[in-house]
Structure 1
Amino acid sequence: MTTTDTAPSRAAGRRTAAGPSAHRGRFTGRSVVVTGAAQGIGRAVAERIAAEGGGVVLVDRAELVHEVAAGVREAAAAYPDPAPVHSVTADLETFDGAQAATEAAIAAAGRIDVVVNNVGGTIWAKPYEHYTPEEIEKEVRRSLFPTLWMCRAVLPHLIAQRTGTIVNVGSVATRGVNRVPYAASKGGVRAITTALALEAAPHGVRVVATAPGGTEAPARAVQRGPLPQTEQEKAWYQQIVDQTVDSSLMKRYGTLDEQAAAICFLASDEASYITGTILPVAGGDLG
């Protein structure tokens, strides 16, 4: 699971992770592409990378990404020698979109050192027998193909420069109720990570992933799909919330800062001897 619009009450008042300026200079001289960057975890990662001295290209299919990038740029200007912040709109559910985003990022930033593949998220919440074939396909297109396509689009560039890092954002919801198509998609992200790491390592490229648990986030500016309407739909969604909290040893949802901190660690040189690894960030829930 990545983000939710309404956090359970047991998460209220919990301390967040250290702020984004905790490792100033960690990404100096680096160019980082963050997908799904208009809101949620992606936005938090982009803000932290910029605060830590990195150049950032925010990618999203929502036009909102340009407004978010302007805010990231303004915040980064408070630090000495801020790195450039760019934004690109692209539909990453297609290879053409991923290719266009990669080319635009290289044109804007000159190179790509790190890609954070963050696009994805549950669209519907219900038992599998209630999904239509069209909904199943849409869930897979949303939560598997953006990572699959971006890895394919950016890999030749990283191989050519013989260095780089891909950080995929998976989920511990591969073991979760009422979202089988999403779980299957995130299981695919885990497989991409472990298999591609074997191929990429000889070229100096690391491939890693985090597996977030339930994460508190503000209300989404752009919804993934319809919100629960009927009492039954609300009950199915509540089952996800309850199972997510119960599966966490810490009995709470995480914060955006906690998710961004783990992603940025794996993206940094501090994790230079880590590849093919999936880091659960879910309060002890291993998925």
Structure 2
Amino acid sequence: MTVHANRFAGKAVVVTGAAQGIGRAVAERIAAEGGEVVLADRAELVHDVAGALREAGGKAHSVPVHSVTADLETYDGALAATDGALAAAGRIDVVVNNVGGTIWAKPYEHYTPEEIEKEVRRSLFPTLWMCRAALPHLIAQRSGTIVNVSSVATRGVNRVPYAASKGGVRAITTALALEAAPHGVRVVATAPGGTEAPPRAVQRGPLPATEQEKAWYQQIVDQTVESSLLKRYGTLDEQAAAICFLASDEASYITGTVLPVAGGDLG
């Protein structure tokens, strides 16, 4: 990880889905770069992650690290996360909306209506609700940045409901940027490609069990690698670097933009 010292000094940054994966990597980098960070997740694990970060990066860089638990699939949960962040840090300068992820991997005709709704609640509504909950505070202070995490899986196999949700995240970004700009608020996004990460401590859904389910998942992996010009998965650091750049003042003239971070796959 390349650290840009004090890039987030004086900033209060909320990172959702911060208990693991990309969210955790972003939170670690924000703290290492001098930002006061609030980790938000519905898993209690987020408090342990915040504790470890507090002992490592936060303590080393003399910046506070906080954590809140909330179910961001609901508006009440988004309000709770926003209120918790304000109570802990006193203000919000940046919101990184990272919650989401494929629950099932299979051709669309095999999804049940209930599964489709769960995918949309997991990968669209957390961003929609957090933008709504945080935006009034950013508008009131006439400054701030929202960084959403979409996906290049908007053009991918065996996860149509997830693709639709992440397409919605792109639309939130481009449309909200128009409304927020007059208030001094930027809205941007990254679109990650396949990303190598440690085994998840909290699973999104059932792991592929049957040979058919394993084959459907492998089709996703193969298509992801093939679509990348670099023919590989990315790393957590590569995803966090792009998110933190867009979140920082270095990107002050960028808004309404979705940046693919997928080795050349534009989604």
Gaps of 5+ in 2: none
Counterpart of 1:104?
Answer: 84
From 140, 148, 152, give the equivalent of 1:172.
152
Counterpart of 1:125?
Answer: 105
CA displacement 1:123-161 (0-9 Å, x = unmatched): 000000000000000000000000000000000000000
Counterpart of 2:4?
Answer: 23
Structure 2 residue 9 is matched with structure 1 residue 33: no
Greater relative CO (CA pairs within 8 A, separation 6+): 1
The CA distance in 1 between the partners of 2:31 and 2:75, in whole Å, is 27
From 227, 234, 254, give the equivalent of 1:254.
234
Counterpart of 2:225?
Answer: 245
The CA distance in 2 between the partners of 1:188 and 1:78, in whole Å, is 38
Letter in 1 for 2:5: R
Counterpart of 1:206?
Answer: 186
From 224, 228, 233, give the equivalent of 2:208.
228
Question: How has the CA–CA distance of structure 1 residues 194 and 77 changed in structure 2, closer, same or farther, with 3 Å as cutoff?
Answer: closer
Counterpart of 1:42?
Answer: 23
Q: Secondary structure at the match of 2:9?
A: coil
From 87, 102, 116, give the equivalent of 1:136.
116
CA displacement 1:205-257 (0-9 Å, x = unmatched): 00000000000000000000000000000000000000000000000000000
The CA distance in 1 between the partners of 2:119 and 2:36, in whole Å, is 31
1:76 Cα offset (Å): 1.9
1:79 Cα offset (Å): 3.0
Deviation larger for 66-75 or 143-152: 66-75
Letter in 2 for 1:226: P
Counterpart of 2:44?
Answer: 63
Letter in 2 for 1:222: V
Letter in 2 for 1:271: A
The CA distance in 2 between the partners of 1:65 and 1:123, in whole Å, is 20
Percentage of matched positions with identical amino acids:
87
Counterpart of 1:52?
Answer: 33
The CA distance in 2 between the partners of 1:227 and 1:185, in whole Å, is 21
Structure 2 residue 201 is matched with structure 1 residue 218: no
Q: Secondary structure at the match of 2:7?
A: coil
Contact 2:230 2:264 in 1 (8 A): yes
Contact 2:58 2:64 in 1 (8 A): no
The CA distance in 1 between the partners of 2:130 and 2:120, in whole Å, is 15
Letter in 2 for 1:141: R
The CA distance in 2 between the partners of 1:261 and 1:26, in whole Å, is 12
CA RMSD of aligned residues (A): 0.7
Counterpart of 1:266?
Answer: 246
Counterpart of 2:258?
Answer: 278
Counterpart of 2:168?
Answer: 188
Aligned residues between the structures: 267
Structure 2 residue 72 is matched with structure 1 residue 92: yes
Q: Secondary structure at the match of 1:207?
A: strand
Q: Secondary structure at the match of 1:211?
A: strand
- TM-score w.r.t. the length of structure 1 is 0.92
Gaps of 5+ in 1: 1-18
Counterpart of 1:114?
Answer: 94
